[in-house]
Structure 1
């Protein structure tokens, strides 16, 4: 192995990568998209395939790295100047919950699950979907959440709501299917859930796309008819 050649390749690779990042601008590092990850992975592949091959001299290495950098710079310039390129390479936010209505088509598009969304909400200090007015899934995979400004508890069952402490919130129905393991964990039965849903006017569990419950706040649920762009299983349209 020619250690001098490898060292030179490494230094040049670092310089070219630094130059490319400088040309793209510092703000891009805080706004990484799937496309950004792709060109970083591609550059890593270039380094991996060339770096350890002594048969590939320094000039072919420089040529490959420069073509990669110039291509990325041209694409980023087009993205800044033309909306069509911006949408294609950067993507647009998906409005997955709009004024409290769940957009099931966008849930499918992004392979989202309700429990996954609940984890995101809990990380942001939100423990019930009833508090959420709008959610945007940004191109970088982050969630932007707008809460109802004057959220008030609306009783939806006969559960006693005058308790001093807030209790945990549980997902009991997920896309028309009862979460039996959750019911077992909270010490409730399937019959109890069906009876409570009957009280709320729901006679067919498969029409419910989402149902959460807590001992403090009672039930909060959405049927498929409450959703936008119904596309998932259990669609009753």
Structure 2
């Protein structure tokens, strides 16, 4: 939950620079009322991601809009290789300083759309993650990323897109009825809110199949967020 004014333009890079160097969860607003979420919540997130992506030891994971790598590094032991990409110069510098383990586990400062279109060896990746950040992509970039992943990253069979804000439950979060423009703005602290139907339409345009899940009630954001698992239609 963000403590920032949700209707205003928001920069994760600028906000992260205001937080202490070791406040990894605060830097990416994985907080409730400004307080970093407890360890049991983080462990639940990791377990859900691992279940969704069904890791195998030889997997190479692409983490889109990875932030500062604090969540990413908890997945290093599940796969053989990893690359995290993010547009924020500061967050990537935190990731490189604290979590990078070259040559197999690295981070790159680049936007999601630019990365997927320019990657020269997309076939090396087998799984894709985008957790808590897909809603900050513009509509055009979201479509571009999903379509390029499907068409170019041909060995990827599963993409886990997690912690998406549910437009149907926005009023539960805000304790008011937010306007359409506010919920559709990807540049706010909470990003673009979509119903499951809206997200499914977006995904299916790109060729993926999608299934949805919700975290159990004890998860701090379960009442207004959902997860999406994208799978390639193999025709079987």
Q: Same fold, TM exceeding 0.5?
A: no
Query: Larger radius of gyration, structure 1 or 2?
Result: 1
> TM-score if structure 1 supplies the norm length?
0.24
Higher helix share: 1
